[in-house]
């Protein structure tokens, strides 16, 4: 069972493509321990395969935080999980329930003004995790650039101490603590862990 993330960049036309394109490419290249095949196409759309389905939300949040480091930019993503029945040379040429689940609901998300949704094909699991994701989106859809910067660092390394973060960012530790609270990072990390545990249990059912 894998996760597939299909998404597009919101307000991409307001910025030079290199401002977000290189950021996204670098993130995906640096996340090779999580990401399998990936592709960016049609200018501002992308599809990413995550071989371990339980890491789907983590990867989506990494993308969210990386993109939102640029003012006014955001990202819309559909996380689908399921089997992979065919592997193509490109991720966009692969197929299976995970790809169908991810791709088929993205088109309707723009009209619904929803930036993140989940689909597995299991009605109860989808309802449960989408409630959690919608609640979480109240937090991460409203991250400022500095909150997104901190979120990216902590999602990449949750055990990183605040003193080290302060040193990296060139700010005081008290400022890191304030940003941590403002970004609601304790709740975000808890949400990501719950998603991971829930998918692992679902895989074993």
Query: Which two tokens mark 149?
Result: 């910067």
Helix (H) or strand (E) holding 79: strand 74-82
Q: How confident is the model at residue 104 (pLDDT cuts 50, 70, 90)?
A: confident
Q: What angle do CA 21, 168, 173 make, to 5 degrees?
A: 125
CATH number at residue 111: 3.30.70.270
Q: Name the residue range of residue 6's domain.
A: 2-204
In angstroms, the Cα distances linking 150 to 16, 98, 140, 171 are: 24, 30, 12, 12
CA 32 to the chain's CA centroid: 15
Q: How confident is the model at residue 85 (pLDDT cuts 50, 70, 90)?
A: confident
Q: In terms of Cα–Cα distance, which of 134, 95, 91 is closest to 115?
A: 134
pLDDT of residue 191: 97
In angstroms, the Cα distances linking 79 to 18, 119, 178, 194 are: 25, 6, 31, 15
For 19, counting Cβ atoms within 10 Å of its Cβ (0-12 exposed, 13-18 middle, 19+ buried), the class is: middle
Range with the poorest average pLDDT among 12-21, 112-121, 137-146: 12-21
Q: What is the strand order of the sheet 74-82 is part of?
A: 38-41, 45-50, 2-10, 74-82, 116-119
pLDDT of residue 129: 97
How many domains does one find in the chain?
1
Mean pLDDT, all residues of the chain: 91
Q: How confident is the model at residue 142 (pLDDT cuts 50, 70, 90)?
A: very high
Q: In terms of Cα–Cα distance, which of 35, 57, 55, 32 is closest to 47?
A: 35
Instruction: Report d(CA 64, CA 20) in Å as an integer.
Output: 11
pTM score: 0.94
Backbone angles phi, psi at 117, to 5 degrees: -140, 165
Instruction: Report d(CA 201, CA 53) in Å as an integer.
Output: 11
Q: What is the mean pLDDT of residues 164-191?
A: 93
Which 3 state secondary structure label does DSSP give 155?
helix
Flag whether pLDDT at 50 surpasses 80.
yes
pLDDT of residue 118: 97
Taking a C-beta distance cutoff of 8 angstroms, is the pair 84, 51 a contact? no
Q: What is the pLDDT of residues 120-141, one digit of tens each?
A: 999 999 999 999 999 999 999 9
pLDDT of residue 53: 96
């Amino acid at each position: 069972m894998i996760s597939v993330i299909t998404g597009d960049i919101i307000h991409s036309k307001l910025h030079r493509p290199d401002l977000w394109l290189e950021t996204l490419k670098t993130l995906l290249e640096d996340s090779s321990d999580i990401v399998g095949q990936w592709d960016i196409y049609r200018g501002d759309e992308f599809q990413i395969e995550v071989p371990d389905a339980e890491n789907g939300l983590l990867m989506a949040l990494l993308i969210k935080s990386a993109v939102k480091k640029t003012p006014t930019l955001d990202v819309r993503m559909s996380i689908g999980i399921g089997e992979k029945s065919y592997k193509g040379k490109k991720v966009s040429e692969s197929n299976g329930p995970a790809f169908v689940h991810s791709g088929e609901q993205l088109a309707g998300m723009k009209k619904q003004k929803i930036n993140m949704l989940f689909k597995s094909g299991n009605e109860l699991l989808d309802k449960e995790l989408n409630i959690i994701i919608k609640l979480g989106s109240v937090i991460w859809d409203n991250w400022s650039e500095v909150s997104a910067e901190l979120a990216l660092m902590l999602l990449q390394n949750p055990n990183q101490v605040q003193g080290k973060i302060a040193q990296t960012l060139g700010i005081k530790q008290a400022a890191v603590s304030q940003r941590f609270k403002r970004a609601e990072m304790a709740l975000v990390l808890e949400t990501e862990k719950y998603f991971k545990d829930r998918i692992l249990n679902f895989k074993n059912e």
